[in-house]
Copies of this chain bind each other. A is one copy, B any other.
Amino acid sequence: MPEAHTRTPRERYRTQVRAEIKEHAWEQIAAAGASALSLNAIAKRMGMSGPALYRYFAGRDELITELIRDAYRSLADTFKEAADAGADLAGLAHALRAWALADPHRYFLVYGTPVPGYHAPEDVSEIASETMAVILDACAALPSDAPAAPFDAHVDAHRQWADGPPPPAPALHRALVFWTRLHGVLSLELAGHFTGMGFDPALLFAAELDDLSEH
Protein backbone atom coordinates (compact mmCIF):
# COMPACT_ATOMS: atom_id res chain seq x y z
CA MET A 1 0.00 0.00 0.00
CA PRO A 2 1.49 3.34 -0.99
CA GLU A 3 1.42 6.14 1.54
CA ALA A 4 -1.79 7.96 0.94
CA HIS A 5 -0.47 11.48 0.56
CA THR A 6 -3.54 13.09 2.02
CA ARG A 7 -3.63 16.71 2.92
CA THR A 8 -4.14 17.18 6.58
CA PRO A 9 -2.60 15.05 9.33
CA ARG A 10 -6.08 14.36 10.58
CA GLU A 11 -7.15 12.84 7.29
CA ARG A 12 -4.00 10.77 7.28
CA TYR A 13 -4.73 9.52 10.76
CA ARG A 14 -8.29 8.80 9.75
CA THR A 15 -7.43 6.65 6.76
CA GLN A 16 -4.81 4.88 8.82
CA VAL A 17 -7.26 4.00 11.56
CA ARG A 18 -9.81 2.90 8.97
CA ALA A 19 -7.24 0.60 7.45
CA GLU A 20 -6.33 -0.81 10.85
CA ILE A 21 -9.97 -1.48 11.61
CA LYS A 22 -10.34 -3.34 8.35
CA GLU A 23 -7.25 -5.36 9.11
CA HIS A 24 -8.66 -6.47 12.44
CA ALA A 25 -11.97 -7.17 10.72
CA TRP A 26 -10.28 -9.53 8.28
CA GLU A 27 -8.59 -11.34 11.12
CA GLN A 28 -11.87 -11.72 12.89
CA ILE A 29 -13.61 -12.95 9.75
CA ALA A 30 -10.87 -15.49 9.22
CA ALA A 31 -11.35 -16.68 12.78
CA ALA A 32 -15.11 -16.91 13.03
CA GLY A 33 -16.71 -15.93 9.74
CA ALA A 34 -18.31 -12.76 8.52
CA SER A 35 -21.51 -13.25 10.48
CA ALA A 36 -19.56 -13.15 13.74
CA LEU A 37 -17.87 -9.84 12.97
CA SER A 38 -18.17 -7.58 16.00
CA LEU A 39 -17.37 -3.90 16.05
CA ASN A 40 -17.12 -4.06 19.80
CA ALA A 41 -14.49 -6.77 19.71
CA ILE A 42 -12.46 -4.87 17.14
CA ALA A 43 -12.58 -1.75 19.29
CA LYS A 44 -11.43 -3.62 22.34
CA ARG A 45 -8.55 -5.17 20.45
CA MET A 46 -7.48 -1.73 19.30
CA GLY A 47 -7.62 -0.41 22.83
CA MET A 48 -10.59 1.79 22.11
CA SER A 49 -14.08 2.01 23.42
CA GLY A 50 -16.95 0.55 21.46
CA PRO A 51 -18.67 3.65 20.13
CA ALA A 52 -15.37 5.12 18.96
CA LEU A 53 -15.50 2.98 15.82
CA TYR A 54 -18.66 4.72 14.72
CA ARG A 55 -16.52 7.75 13.94
CA TYR A 56 -14.95 5.70 11.15
CA PHE A 57 -17.75 3.48 9.92
CA ALA A 58 -21.43 4.29 10.02
CA GLY A 59 -22.13 0.78 11.27
CA ARG A 60 -21.46 -2.89 10.85
CA ASP A 61 -23.05 -2.93 7.42
CA GLU A 62 -20.80 -0.21 6.07
CA LEU A 63 -17.71 -2.00 7.32
CA ILE A 64 -18.77 -5.29 5.74
CA THR A 65 -19.66 -3.51 2.52
CA GLU A 66 -16.19 -2.00 2.48
CA LEU A 67 -14.64 -5.43 3.00
CA ILE A 68 -16.73 -6.83 0.17
CA ARG A 69 -15.65 -3.97 -2.05
CA ASP A 70 -12.01 -4.64 -1.20
CA ALA A 71 -12.47 -8.33 -1.94
CA TYR A 72 -13.96 -7.60 -5.37
CA ARG A 73 -11.23 -5.06 -6.03
CA SER A 74 -8.55 -7.56 -5.05
CA LEU A 75 -9.95 -10.20 -7.37
CA ALA A 76 -10.26 -7.78 -10.27
CA ASP A 77 -6.71 -6.56 -9.75
CA THR A 78 -5.41 -10.12 -9.57
CA PHE A 79 -7.07 -10.93 -12.87
CA LYS A 80 -5.84 -7.75 -14.52
CA GLU A 81 -2.28 -8.38 -13.38
CA ALA A 82 -2.41 -11.91 -14.73
CA ALA A 83 -3.84 -10.69 -18.03
CA ASP A 84 -1.24 -7.95 -18.31
CA ALA A 85 1.44 -10.59 -17.75
CA GLY A 86 0.08 -12.35 -20.81
CA ALA A 87 -1.90 -15.08 -19.10
CA ASP A 88 -4.35 -17.10 -21.16
CA LEU A 89 -7.45 -18.78 -19.75
CA ALA A 90 -5.36 -21.36 -17.92
CA GLY A 91 -3.29 -18.60 -16.41
CA LEU A 92 -6.41 -16.80 -15.25
CA ALA A 93 -7.72 -20.02 -13.77
CA HIS A 94 -4.57 -20.55 -11.74
CA ALA A 95 -4.64 -16.95 -10.60
CA LEU A 96 -8.23 -17.43 -9.49
CA ARG A 97 -7.44 -20.60 -7.62
CA ALA A 98 -4.44 -19.06 -5.90
CA TRP A 99 -6.49 -16.03 -4.95
CA ALA A 100 -9.25 -18.20 -3.51
CA LEU A 101 -6.93 -20.47 -1.54
CA ALA A 102 -4.99 -17.52 -0.16
CA ASP A 103 -8.06 -16.40 1.77
CA PRO A 104 -11.16 -18.58 1.51
CA HIS A 105 -13.27 -16.16 3.54
CA ARG A 106 -12.53 -13.43 1.06
CA TYR A 107 -13.74 -15.74 -1.70
CA PHE A 108 -16.95 -16.45 0.18
CA LEU A 109 -17.46 -12.75 0.78
CA VAL A 110 -17.69 -12.42 -2.98
CA TYR A 111 -19.30 -15.68 -4.05
CA GLY A 112 -20.83 -17.06 -0.86
CA THR A 113 -24.33 -17.05 0.51
CA PRO A 114 -25.98 -13.72 -0.26
CA VAL A 115 -27.73 -11.72 2.47
CA PRO A 116 -31.41 -11.31 1.54
CA GLY A 117 -31.80 -7.68 2.41
CA TYR A 118 -28.42 -6.61 1.12
CA HIS A 119 -27.95 -4.98 -2.25
CA ALA A 120 -24.44 -4.38 -3.50
CA PRO A 121 -23.65 -0.74 -4.26
CA GLU A 122 -23.18 0.39 -7.81
CA ASP A 123 -19.40 0.42 -7.84
CA VAL A 124 -19.18 -3.15 -6.58
CA SER A 125 -21.06 -4.52 -9.56
CA GLU A 126 -18.86 -2.30 -11.68
CA ILE A 127 -15.77 -3.99 -10.29
CA ALA A 128 -17.43 -7.35 -10.90
CA SER A 129 -17.89 -6.46 -14.54
CA GLU A 130 -14.21 -5.51 -14.71
CA THR A 131 -13.42 -9.05 -13.68
CA MET A 132 -15.82 -10.41 -16.25
CA ALA A 133 -14.27 -8.20 -18.90
CA VAL A 134 -10.85 -9.77 -18.36
CA ILE A 135 -12.29 -13.26 -18.81
CA LEU A 136 -14.21 -12.14 -21.86
CA ASP A 137 -11.09 -10.69 -23.44
CA ALA A 138 -9.26 -13.93 -22.92
CA CYS A 139 -12.19 -15.81 -24.46
CA ALA A 140 -12.49 -13.49 -27.42
CA ALA A 141 -8.83 -14.08 -28.21
CA LEU A 142 -9.55 -17.75 -28.82
CA PRO A 143 -10.75 -19.21 -32.13
CA SER A 144 -14.45 -19.86 -31.92
CA ASP A 145 -14.78 -23.31 -33.39
CA ALA A 146 -17.75 -24.01 -31.16
CA PRO A 147 -20.71 -25.53 -32.97
CA ALA A 148 -23.03 -22.65 -32.04
CA ALA A 149 -25.02 -24.25 -29.27
CA PRO A 150 -28.66 -23.26 -28.78
CA PHE A 151 -27.54 -21.23 -25.78
CA ASP A 152 -25.50 -19.00 -28.09
CA ALA A 153 -28.55 -18.34 -30.21
CA HIS A 154 -30.46 -17.37 -27.10
CA VAL A 155 -27.72 -15.01 -26.04
CA ASP A 156 -27.69 -13.49 -29.51
CA ALA A 157 -31.42 -12.93 -29.29
CA HIS A 158 -31.45 -11.45 -25.81
CA ARG A 159 -28.17 -9.61 -25.71
CA GLN A 160 -28.24 -6.66 -23.42
CA TRP A 161 -25.25 -5.46 -21.53
CA ALA A 162 -24.78 -3.09 -18.64
CA ASP A 163 -22.67 -0.68 -20.66
CA GLY A 164 -20.78 -0.85 -23.89
CA PRO A 165 -21.44 -3.21 -26.74
CA PRO A 166 -22.41 -6.76 -25.78
CA PRO A 167 -19.76 -9.40 -26.40
CA PRO A 168 -20.13 -11.99 -29.15
CA ALA A 169 -22.25 -14.91 -28.04
CA PRO A 170 -19.61 -17.66 -28.33
CA ALA A 171 -17.14 -15.66 -26.25
CA LEU A 172 -19.76 -14.93 -23.59
CA HIS A 173 -20.75 -18.58 -23.49
CA ARG A 174 -17.15 -19.61 -23.13
CA ALA A 175 -16.59 -17.08 -20.38
CA LEU A 176 -19.66 -18.22 -18.47
CA VAL A 177 -18.62 -21.85 -18.71
CA PHE A 178 -15.13 -20.94 -17.53
CA TRP A 179 -16.54 -19.03 -14.61
CA THR A 180 -19.24 -21.46 -13.48
CA ARG A 181 -17.16 -24.63 -13.76
CA LEU A 182 -14.18 -23.29 -11.88
CA HIS A 183 -16.44 -21.75 -9.28
CA GLY A 184 -18.22 -25.07 -8.92
CA VAL A 185 -15.02 -26.90 -8.05
CA LEU A 186 -13.55 -24.10 -5.96
CA SER A 187 -16.56 -23.33 -3.82
CA LEU A 188 -17.24 -26.98 -3.00
CA GLU A 189 -13.57 -27.48 -2.22
CA LEU A 190 -13.35 -24.43 0.03
CA ALA A 191 -16.57 -25.37 1.79
CA GLY A 192 -15.03 -28.75 2.59
CA HIS A 193 -17.51 -30.85 0.65
CA PHE A 194 -14.71 -32.97 -0.79
CA THR A 195 -13.18 -33.96 2.51
CA GLY A 196 -13.19 -37.67 3.12
CA MET A 197 -13.43 -38.52 -0.57
CA GLY A 198 -9.75 -39.17 -0.87
CA PHE A 199 -8.78 -37.17 -3.92
CA ASP A 200 -6.88 -33.97 -4.52
CA PRO A 201 -9.23 -31.10 -5.44
CA ALA A 202 -6.37 -29.43 -7.30
CA LEU A 203 -6.39 -32.28 -9.79
CA LEU A 204 -10.13 -32.07 -10.28
CA PHE A 205 -9.68 -28.35 -10.91
CA ALA A 206 -6.92 -29.11 -13.39
CA ALA A 207 -9.07 -31.73 -15.11
CA GLU A 208 -11.91 -29.24 -15.55
CA LEU A 209 -9.44 -26.73 -16.89
CA ASP A 210 -8.11 -29.26 -19.39
CA ASP A 211 -11.61 -29.96 -20.55
CA LEU A 212 -12.18 -26.25 -21.01
CA SER A 213 -9.10 -25.93 -23.19
CA GLU A 214 -9.90 -28.91 -25.38
CA HIS A 215 -13.53 -28.10 -25.94
Contact = CB atoms under 8 A, between A and B. Distances in A.
A79 B198 CA distance: 24
Nearest to A180: B184
A161 B112 contact: no
Given A113-B108, A113-B113, A173 B207 contact: yes
A215 B166 CA distance: 29
A155 interface: yes
B158 A198 contact: yes
Interface size class of A (residues with CB under 8 A): 35 or more
A32 interface: yes
Contact of A31 (B116, B191, B196, B207): B116
Interface string A175-204: 011011111110110111100111110011
A150 interface: yes
A49 interface: no
B35 A35 contact: yes
A139 to B, nearest CB: 14
A201 B55 CA distance: 43
15 contacts: A34-B113, A35-B115, A108-B114, A111-B188, A111-B193, A150-B206, A151-B206, A158-B198, A158-B199, A161-B197, A162-B196, A176-B204, A177-B211, A180-B184, A184-B185
Contacts of A108: 113-114
A175 to B, nearest CB: 10
Nearest to A169: B199
Contacts of A150: 203, 206-207
A38 interface: no
A177 B166 CA distance: 30
A51 interface: no
A168 interface: no
Nearest to A105: B116
Contact of A158 (B35, B192, B200, B210): B200
Given A173-B207, A180-B188, A187-B183, A33 B200 contact: no
A149 interface: yes
